[in-house]
A and B are shown apart, each in its own frame.
Chain A
Amino acid sequence: MNDMFNKGRLVLWSFVALIFVVLPFIFSGGFSLSMLSQMGIMIIFVLSYNMLLGQTGLLSFGHAVYFGLGAFMTAHAINFVEAGTLGLPISLMPLIGGLTGLCFGLLLGFVTTRRPGTPFAMISLGIAEMVAASALMFTTFFGGEGGIVTNRTAGGAVWGVSYGPQIQVYYLIAVWCFLSMVLMFAITRTPLGRIANAVRDNPERAQFVGYNPTRVRWLMMSLAGFFAGIGGALATINYEIITAEALGLMASGNVVLMAFIGGIGQFWGPMIGAVLVTLLQSALSNFTQAWLLYFGLLFLLIILYSPGGISNLISIHVPVWRAGLIKKLLPSYGYALLTGFVTLLGVVGGIEMLYRGTLFGGINDGTTWVIAALLICVGGFFLKRAIGSVRRVWEDMSPDLARWV
């Protein structure tokens, strides 16, 4: 725990806290404020997911179950507060969500964490389907198609905070997000977090050292459920409605995309994914119906060419920066960016034209198609050469870099 509180890290965390405080002053519009709130929720969610994936090596396709169940329990708790049968301030509601996630993590994790790897992935998917299907069955708890509606101002104002205005909700989310981030980071530094890494890398050896890999996975799963539940509770408070979609497969798939686009190798990687994906989702879905396709393609590109995600791309440049060699890279990067942009323009143009009219019996204006095809061909040709030159520069630098890694 000692290095947790060293000076550099303290400065870093204070800086993060400062960002949380300052952000709504910079982006003060209603739309950006609700987007910031959503990002905060997603950061908690995706970091809790990375406790499973990045730290314990459990690829789950059903993490939204804990998020959703936490959210539903919170919705009911808030409704109890409104009915006067429960006296708990809204600010502490995330605890309800977290405990719900923890309980279900303990319960479901006991069954699912027995087998790691691919079986775990399939089983988590099955569990997610089961919970999603039951959500439509037990309508009293899950509210059926319409979901459960709540009122976040229930229980009246505490110390002048009523949670009526969005800015108050943002700060609630910010506080919980910051707390969860610090806690989740701290967990990576505990013996449990370290052993989780060992179980991820070599379960057999961890077992020989005297740890039970199944139990370690189970504990990490429960803890991840706890934080996911916190995220769910905040989602309930933020949106004031929760439907069965929140625990469905789409939501679970979404968090997988976020984690991988951001990169699971670093603690902060998934956060980049959460911010970027939330931003793209709200921004792109306003412009195009095909945003899910772009997402899928981005995801495939990352899996194919940079399996470490965006955070890995950033961190491999740190030694380059330190060695002062970044200048060498810039020309080839500029070349690649330019050609990449041209290719992208062609691809996007083609996809959008396809989307506007479906392929069979849709629009068929020859010239626009020729332009798109030309952009893709020319851009693609030069992009390939640009990537080659980037690779050459990297190879040239590698002897100089070796000292800085």
Chain B
Amino acid sequence: MEFFLITLLNSLSYGLLLFMLSSGLTLIFSMMGVLNFAHASFYMLGAYFAYQTGLVVGFWPALFLAPLLVGIVGAVTERYGLRKVHQFGHVAELLFTFGLAYVIEEIVHIIWGRAPVDYRIPESLDFTLFTLYNTQYPAYRAFMMIVSVGMLISLFLVLTKTRIGMIVQASLTHPHMVQALGHNVPRVFMLVFAGGCALAGLAGVLGGNLFITEPGMAFAVGSIVFVVVVLGGMGSLVGAFIASLLIGAIQTFSVALDLSFIDLMTALGVTIDPDSGWYGGLSITISQTAPVLPYLLMVLMLIVRPRGLMGTRES
């Protein structure tokens, strides 16, 4: 029970972090039709910016400054990069972000070096929030959850209740009509792209010190975010939300479970000869399969339901 509750809480905070990443990706995708390959790179930039600005002004201002800076980088990327390649089609846009991911990683190498930087949880949040049975639950994880949920609620409110949110939503489906009504649709696009990048940056600020801030962090999280988006259904925010929590749970639980097929057989009263050829394959534990599980889930989903959990169209 103790294990279950703690792991559940951990998976929840991880899942919410994933959703912060995938929501930005989904917004950008459903609006501009661009799959942003560099999305995880913006997540990485968020962590590094928070580290660097945090050195000067401390963690709390950095929490706001870093996503803002990432948003500005995103806006510049859209204005001077993506908008230029837009005329060549979606594949060119996708490839542009793909190349950008390389360049951002190398720039991070140049500025901060290849080794991880010492980006730490602030002291004011570095305490135990409560003790469940015998396990201490860190306050920072709870803080992360609060920020994510707060962020998501405000995103939801902005999108549905404000004027600018209405324009964004209208531009999603009827860009030409919105343009005809006198709104600057390209600027809306830029805003959405910057906003999505800022969300990824915020996730980086929160995740960078909990996990580790190093140049490889973008690649590590990038493909998981894609799995989330495919699983949830491309372009669906609700789907992305469910898939994020699901993937968060799967990854957190499977890493912690040190059971193998052999254990199951032993529990059922069947013994397997350690010398037999099958032993090696059967003795793989669930925690060893952890890195594969999200992708396996994605493949299964594609076979059973190609449009994903909440997707509305096939392609």
* Chain A interface residues toward B at CB < 8 A: 59, 61, 111-112, 114-119, 121-123, 125-127, 129-130, 133-134, 136-138, 140, 249, 253, 256-257, 260, 289-290, 292-293, 295-297, 299-300, 303-304, 307, 351, 354-355, 358-360
A116 to B315, CA, bound (A): 7
The reply to whether B226 and A122 form a contact with Cβ atoms under 8 Å apart is yes
The answer to whether A358 and B111 have CB atoms under 8 Å apart is yes
Contacts A117-B315, A121-B35, A125-B226 given: A112-B98 contact, CB under 8 Å?
no
Chain B minimum-CB-distance residue to A132: B291
8 contacts between A and B (CB under 8 A): A114-B306, A118-B234, A126-B226, A129-B295, A253-B98, A299-B99, A303-B92, A303-B96
Judge whether B91 is part of the interface by a CB distance below 8 angstroms: yes
Evaluate whether A359 and B226 lie within 8 angstroms (CB atoms) in the complex, with A293-B103, A296-B103 already known: no
Cβ–Cβ contact B85 & A307, under 8 A:
yes
A359 touches B102 (CB 8 A): no
Segment from B125-133, B178-186, B296-304 that makes contact with A: B296-304
Q: For residue A130, which residue of chain B has the nearest CB?
A: B295
Whole-angstrom CA separation of A307 from B92 in the bound complex: 7
B3 at the interface (CB under 8 A from A): no
B91 — which chain A residues lie within 8 A by C-beta? 59
Report the minimal beta-carbon distance from A69 to chain B, rounded to whole angstroms: 15
Q: Which of chain A's residues have a CB closer than 8 A to the CB of B81?
A: 300, 304
B113 at the interface (CB under 8 A from A): yes
CB of A120 to closest CB in B, whole Å:
9
Most chain B CB inside 10 Å of its own CB: which residue of A111, A112, A130, A289: A130
Q: A256 to B92: give the CA distance in the assembly, Å.
A: 12
Q: What's the nearest-Cβ distance from chain B to residue A135, in Å?
A: 10
* CB closest chain-B residue, reference A248: B219
Closest chain A CB from B309 CB (angstroms): 14
Q: Which of A114, A136, A303 is close to B302, meaning CB atoms less than 8 Å apart?
A: A114
CA distance A289 to B107 in the complex (A): 12
Write out the residue numbers on chain B whose beta carbons fall within 8 Å of the beta carbon of A303. Answer: 85, 88, 92, 95-96, 99
Q: Are B292 and A118 in contact (CB under 8 A)?
A: no
Q: How many residues of B contact A (CB 8 A)?
A: 50
Q: How many angstroms between the C-alpha atoms of A359 and B29 in the bound complex?
A: 34
> In the complex, what distance in Å separates the CA atom of A244 from the CA atom of B91?
28
Q: Which residues of A contact B298 (CB under 8 A)?
A: 123, 126, 130
Question: Does A121 lie within 8 Å of B315, measured CB to CB?
Answer: no
What residues of chain B lie closer than 8 Å to A122, measured between beta carbons? 35, 226, 229-230
Majority SS at the chain A contact face = helix
CA distance A274 to B118 in the complex (A): 39
Q: Which of B82-111 contact A (CB under 8 A)?
A: 84-85, 88, 90-92, 94-96, 98-100, 102-103, 105-107, 109-111
Number of A-B contacts (CB under 8 A): 127
Instruction: Choose from B35, B84, B227 the contact partner of A126 (Cβ within 8 Å).
Output: B227
Closest A-chain residue to B219, C-beta based?
A: A249
Query: Do A59 and B94 touch (CB < 8 A)?
Result: yes
Cα–Cα distance between A376 and B171 once the two chains are bound (Å): 39
- Across the interface, B103 reaches (CB within 8 A) one of A59, A111, A114, A300, namely A300
Q: Is B289 located at the chain interface by the 8 A CB criterion?
A: yes
A297 touches B103 (CB 8 A): yes
**Judging by beta carbons under 8 Å apart, are A130 and B296 in contact?**
yes
Q: In whole angstroms, what is the CA distance A351 to B107 when docked?
A: 9
Given contacts A296-B99, A300-B99, A303-B92, contact A123 B110 (CB under 8 A): no
Contact A358 B230 (CB under 8 A): no
Contact of A358 among B33, B84, B113, B306 (CB under 8 A): B113
Q: Which residues of B contact A300 (CB under 8 A)?
A: 81, 96, 99-100, 103
A256→B95 CA distance, assembly (Å): 9
B223: Cβ under 8 A from any A Cβ: yes
* Complex CA distance for A174 and B94, rounded to whole angstroms: 34
Contact A133 B295 (CB under 8 A): yes
Interface membership of B275, Cβ < 8 A? no
- Whether the pair B302, A123 counts as a contact (CB closer than 8 A) is yes
Give the docked Cα–Cα distance between A112 and B295 (Å): 13
- Which of B33, B35, B234, B295 has the largest number of chain A CB atoms within 10 A? B295
Q: 7 closest A-B pairs (Cβ-Cβ)?
A: A130-B295, A296-B102, A293-B106, A133-B291, A296-B103, A299-B99, A300-B99
State how many angstroms separate the Cβ of B235 from the closest Cβ of chain A: 10
Q: How far is the CA of A383 from the CA of B85 in the complex (A)?
A: 21
Interface 1/0 per residue, B17-55 and A, CB below 8 Å: 000000000000100010100000000000000001000
B107 touches A293 (CB 8 A): yes
